[in-house]
Amino acid sequence: MKILVCLKQVPHKDARLEASGGWIDEGGIKFEINQYDTYALEEALRIKDAGEAEVVVATIGPDRTSQALRTALGMGADRAIQIWDDSLSGADSLTIAKLLAAAAKDESFDLVLMGLMSDDANNSLTGPMLAELLGLPHTTGAMKIELSDGKAQVERELEGGSLQVVDLPLPCLITVQTGLNEVRYASLKGIMQAKKKPLDKKGISDLGLDAAAVASKVTVDKLYVPTKGEGAEILEGSAGEVAQQLVGKIKELGLL
Amino acid sequence: MAFEALDFYRIDDELSEDARIVRDTVREFVDKEFLPLVVEHVRRDGSFPMELVPKMAELGLFGSNLHGYGCAGLDNVAYGLIQQELERGDSGLRSFSSVQSGLCMYPIYTYGTDKQKDRWLPGMAAGEVIGCFGLTEPDFGSDPGGMLSRAEKRGNAWILNGTKRWITNGTVSDIAIVWAQTDDGIQGFIVEKDFAGFEARDMKGKFSLRASITSELFMSDVEVPEENRLPGVKGLKGPLGCLNQARYGIAWGAIGAAQACFDEALQYSKERMIMKRPLASLQIPQQKLVKMATEITKAQLLCLRLAKLKDEGNLRHPMVSMAKMNNVDMALNVARDARDMLGANGIVDDYCSMRHMVNLETVRTYEGTHDIHTLILGRDLTGLDAFGG
Ligand SMILES: Cc1cc2nc3c(=O)[nH]c(=O)nc-3n(C[C@H](O)[C@H](O)[C@H](O)COP(=O)(O)OP(=O)(O)OC[C@H]3O[C@@H](n4cnc5c(N)ncnc54)[C@H](O)[C@@H]3O)c2cc1C
């Protein structure tokens, strides 16, 4: 069994962020592995613990992302692939999927796992796009995965709390929901051992692609935090006065 | 709001990638596993969340800077960062790990026979065997050389008598490293909890380090086999060597406690409105925050350099004294100012500053009091001994 886990390094959930152009100011903030992806990794490691499996983790990102890969190796993944070129800054989902597909195509993975979406960009696109590029059956938002006899049985949560159970033949790609399992910590010993595990760094041409083939089609115009308080009016006075003013406003606006 | 560690001088850039991973992993462990439990244990006088011990072991916290025997073999920067993160949680959490690692595994590792190491260290790394360190006595704290506990050789065993007080983890330990006078100077013994004549009792009524168990050990004609004596050291340098390990960890740990208090005061003062403006916009609170941040940054630099000296083998023990003395004093001042800035909220256990503040009173006292480290440094600088003994 050979499993690929795609993971992304995103700003730490507690980092205090400043918008800057189309993205955030990355200077001096901390990063972590996208929460959704940690569940995908844990699921892969559980499959490995239960039997024989090689777990490969891959990411697309600059130097800082090696920390995410080493953390994954410290948790128990076997090897890592880091793909980067400065031209990829701000890449859209299809570009990311193309790069991952190129890295995965000669490896014949039995299973590709990744998060349903990333905590920072919230697109939910990379998984399905990667599956299409690799020609793999896929499903999204897994709450439970069971493998047997060359197939994966996946439980998915639908709107309104109902569950759907789908079967996919292996090889396939599954994106996972948070809460699918309980994610382990990297052990300190594991972190030390991770230093000796292979981490391959690849550029665009190492994947047999060229800049034109992976040029992004989507560009972000701007990123901003809507200003607070617009359209709000603060009524002042005693409780009675405020209530009277409020009734006046409601009538004035014809809300009743 | 979630904790954000002060890193004004970008110390992070000086850390190796694995040190950062270690730090972030332990920080997450403390956030998710320990902090939800701490207040409950502080309210119960002298108790520790023992259910976390297997998880701490799985993470590899026990003996993390030792090599072999299931230990991670971390360098001293990573080891220090672990203590920082644990003490950011609570001094009681760091104490648990310090005692197990620095005061119990370390002497077995350093002064023990191969047989003792094989017998004890793997179980201690796995958290299955808990240790405590018995040096202090009711009448001998800063001056342990005067201790009354005594071991007499009888045949192939030692007969141990004495009382040890203020012993962290005494009642939850499987073994105690007990230091006692012998005809050959002070020696260390591995006393197993079920040896006849050995008893541990909890001490109650602490204002400080409440999320930690503190005990008294009583030894009355305890027969300790010769194979449980630590043969590698005689004299006070035995226990002092262990304390040097633990003091090193405390110097880092104090930074964690201070960071927790600083971050709490910073966030609180930005939100707390006084006369329609944030507390943090006023000069006196700002001065306090600036002082805290400056002192924390200085303490970080001290520790980073100390770690490098330790890794290079160039560490002299007064250097550790300086860092322990300075950083704990710093953290206590930061905690007091933070508590003050929180006003009345600062005295309830929804906030951490006062918990750290009272904990740090213990940290100031144990592992060599603030004054004792001053005297160690005074002697080192002048060549003149002012201990007065
Ligand atoms: C919560 C807690 C946990 C502890 N855990 C452990 C443990 O696990 N194992 C263990 O062995 N011990 C432990 N200790 C004991 C601790 O190490 C001692 O309390 C410490 O060494 C100080 O000794 P003392 O309390 O007897 O104070 P004293 O030595 O009586 O000191 C009292 C005061 O006198 C000052 N003083 C002492 N000597 C001199 C001098 N020569 N010149 C000038 N001033 C001096 C001190 O600085 C201090 O201000 C613990 C203590 C506490 C509070």
Q: How confident is the model at residue A74, as a pLDDT?
A: 97
**Domain assignment of residue B4, yes or no:** no
* Contact: A188, B72; criterion CB under 8 Å: yes
Q: Are residues B370 and B323 in the same domain?
A: yes
Residue B1 lies in a domain: no
Would B99 be classed as within a structural domain? yes
B262 and B372 in a common domain: yes
| pLDDT digit string, tens, across residues B23-43 | 999 999 999 999 999 999 999
Tell me whether residues A192 and B72 touch, CB distance under 8 A: yes
Q: Is the dihedral of CA B27, B32, B34, B36 positive or negative?
A: positive
Give the pLDDT score at A229: 66
- CA of B294 from ligand 1 middle (Å) equals 29
Give the residue on B whose Cα is nearest the Cα of A193. Answer: B72
Residue A108 lies in a domain: yes
Tell whether B276 is within 8 A of chain A (Cβ).
no
Residues B106 and B147 in one domain: no
Q: Which atom of ligand 1 is nearest to the CA of B387?
A: 41
Q: Is residue A24 part of a domain?
A: yes
Residue B40 annotated in active site: no
Query: What b-and-e string marks burial along A167-195, b requiring 16 or more CB atoms within 10 Å of the CB?
Result: ebeebbbbbbbbebbebbbbbbbbbbebe
pTM beyond 0.90: yes
pLDDT at A225: 81
Write down the residue that tokens 């890592």 correspond to: A80
* pLDDT, average across residues B213-227: 98
- Is the C-beta atom of B139 inside 6 A of ligand 1? no
B121 and B254 both lie in a single domain: no
Classify residue B344: in a domain, yes or no: yes
For residues B38-52, average pLDDT: 95
Whether residue B311 sits in one domain with residue B277: yes
Task: Tally the domains of chain A.
Answer: 1
- Residue % of chain B over a pLDDT of 90: 97
pLDDT tens across B140-175, in order?
999 999 999 999 999 999 999 999 999 999 999 999
Lowest average pLDDT, out of A141-145, A248-252, B8-12, B317-321, goes to A248-252
Provide the pLDDT for residue A164.
Answer: 95
CATH label of the domain that carries residue B342: 1.20.140.10
Point out the domain boundary residue: B202, B230, B258.
B230
Nearest CA in chain B to A189: B72
For the domain that residue B103 is a member of, what is the CATH number?
Answer: 1.10.540.10
Residue B2, chain A, CB below 8 Å: the answer is yes
Do the domain assignments include residue A255? no
CATH at A189: 3.40.50.620
Distance B365 CA to ligand 1 centre (A): 5
At residue A230, the pLDDT reads 66
Decide: B133 in ligand 1 pocket, CB within 6 A: yes
Nearest CA in chain B to A64: B17
User: What is residue A160's predicted lDDT score, i.e. its pLDDT?
Assistant: 87
| pLDDT tens digits for range B185-208 | 999 999 999 999 999 999 999 999
Are both B243 and B224 inside the same structural domain? Answer: no
Q: Are residues B255 and B362 in the same domain?
A: yes
Say which residues have a Cβ less than 8 Å from residue B46's Cβ, sequence separation at least 6: B202, B203, B204, B206, B210, B212, B213, B214
CATH (domain of B199): 2.40.110.10
> A53 lies in a domain?
yes
B182 and B273 assigned to the same domain: no
Question: What residues of chain A score a pLDDT lower than 70?
Answer: 229-230
Q: Do B22 and A14 touch (CB under 8 A)?
A: no
Give a yes or no: residue B319 inside a domain. Answer: yes
Segment 9-38 of chain B within 8 Å of chain A by CB: 10, 17-18, 20-22, 24-25, 28-29
Nearest to A185 among B4, B28, B71 (CB): B28
The answer, yes or no, to whether any atom of ligand 1 lies below 6 A from the CB of B91, is no
**Percent of chain B having pLDDT more than 70?**
99
Mutate to test the pocket of ligand 1, among B90, B98, B166, B204 (most ligand atoms within 8 A of CB): B166
Nearest-CA residue for ligand 1 atom 6 is B167
Using a CB-CB cut-off of 8 Å, the residues of chain A touching B267 are none
Residue B302 covered by a domain: yes
Q: Does A201 touch chain B (CB under 8 A)?
A: no
- CA B140 distance to own-chain centroid: 20
Among B85, B87, B137, B367, the one annotated catalytic: B367
Query: Is residue A42 a part of any domain in this protein?
Result: yes
Residues B303 and B319 placed together within one structural domain of the fold? yes
What spacing in Å lies between the alpha carbon of B366 and ligand 1's midpoint? 5
| Residue of chain B nearest A63, judged by CA positions | B17
- Residue A247 domain-assigned? no
Residue B5 falls inside a structural domain: no
Nearest to B4 among A16, A71, A190 (CB): A16
Relative to the CA of B362, which ligand 1 atom is closest? 53
Residue B6 lies in a domain: no
**Domain boundary pick from B125, B146, B175:** B125
pLDDT-derived band of residue B317, with 50, 70 and 90 as boundaries?
A: very high
Any chain B CB within 8 A of the CB of A16? yes
Instruction: Give pLDDT, residue B389.
Output: 65
When CB atoms are compared, the residue of A185, A192, A194 closest to B29 is A185
Of B197, B230, B263, the last residue of a domain is B230
- Domain boundaries, position A145: 2-207
Q: Which residue of B has its CA nearest to A72?
A: B21
Chain A residues with CB-CB distance to B73 below 8 A: 189, 192
pLDDT tens, position by position, B54-109: 999 999 999 999 999 999 999 999 999 999 999 999 999 999 999 999 999 999 99
Report CA-CA distances (Å) from B221 to B149, B175, B234.
11, 17, 22
Query: Tokens in use for B314?
Result: 């160039």
- Could you tell me if residue A238 is inside a domain? no
* Structural domain range at position B339: 237-382
In a domain, A242, yes or no: no
CB pairs under 8 A between A and B: 62
Same domain? B204 vs B279: no
- Whether ligand 1 lies within 6 angstroms of the CB of B28 is answered as no
pLDDT given for residue A23 in this prediction: 80
The tally of domains found in chain B comes to 3
The answer to whether residues B96 and B147 belong to one domain is no
Of B2, B17, B64, the CB nearest to A188: B64
pLDDT of residue B1: 62
Checking if the pLDDT of B349 tops 90, the result is yes
Q: What is the ipTM of this complex?
A: 0.89
Is A77 at the interface with chain B, CB within 8 A?
no
